Amino acid sequence: MSREIIVLGGGSWGTAASKVLVENGHSVTLWFRDDSKAKNVQKTRLNQHYLPDVVLPEKMVISSCIDSNLPSADMVVLAVPTQKIRELLNKFKNFIQPHTILVNLSKGLEKDSLLRISQVCDEILPNNKYVVLSGPSHAEEVALKMPTTVVAASLDEEASKTTQDIFMNDYFRVYTNSDVTGVEIGGALKNVIALAAGISDGLGFGDNTKAALINRGIFEISRLAEKMGADKLTFMGLSGIGDLIVTCTSMHSRNRRAGILIGKGYTREEAAEAVGMVVEGILTTHAAYHLAKKMAVEMPIVNELYAILFLGEKAADTVEKLMKRDKKDELND
């Protein structure tokens, strides 16, 4: 059955997700904040800045004006940077009806409140069902129909299964999960570890170092999430170790690319500017550091990355600090 869907955010993932949904037979409007960009993409059928080699389906509507469309939408997909979601929801909250399912694609924590996106949505639109779609899913590959597998997590089983049905096809497989906290924390903090993995690359370290960061990184992430009520098994899944591996190893990852530059001596601002897209892991590191302090959870990698990004410490010095930590038991560190 065809659904009416509005995707908020004309970046790479919003564009790729819209393409999936159109190809699945749904009526899709992709919203751009900037009217001139919307008109250009609508005319050329190309999103030159994000997915320049992907021709967008003619049936995909591109628009910067959706107020009249929102009340009838079956689903609204949030595909904007984490720090913009509250502003966007407040902008459109009077047009989004209670029957509309909210599906979040963003991966991060709100910097000042330390909230997950589900919590932000619950504050602003408490009557809407919420789903987070996460996993190892580079937009560049999804847009080219490369086999991809993700998870749709919701506290409402019907909403997660509906999202599964709407998004799933022969190249985009969707599993369901009820652990919203675990899926959101895994998706957000993998960007932090990917920054660290990039810094390792920028410093000239090899596979041993990256494997250690991935392994100890998932341990840190799951330890924080379990303290918040998540299921530890979630971190063996797509939004946990699956997403972490792809983000730490692929050059599609803007977080890894930014980390490489920081490892070579760039500041966080210089690295983000060079990448040319939002690097979610930078502000998520800030939030994760303070959230770990609040929850009294030890996160050595997060602590040292915070020191590099926000306290001006040299990356090489923080590596030495991590390696010279007190002796620990592996499962109790």
Name the phi and psi angles at 51, rounded to 5. Answer: -135, 70
β-pairing, 51-55 vs 148-153, is unpaired
Residues labelled catalytic: 190
Name the phi and psi angles at 296, rounded to 5. Answer: 55, 50
Q: Is 20 exposed, middle or buried (0-12, 13-18, 19+ CB in 10 A)?
A: buried
CB 202 within 8 A of CB 153: no
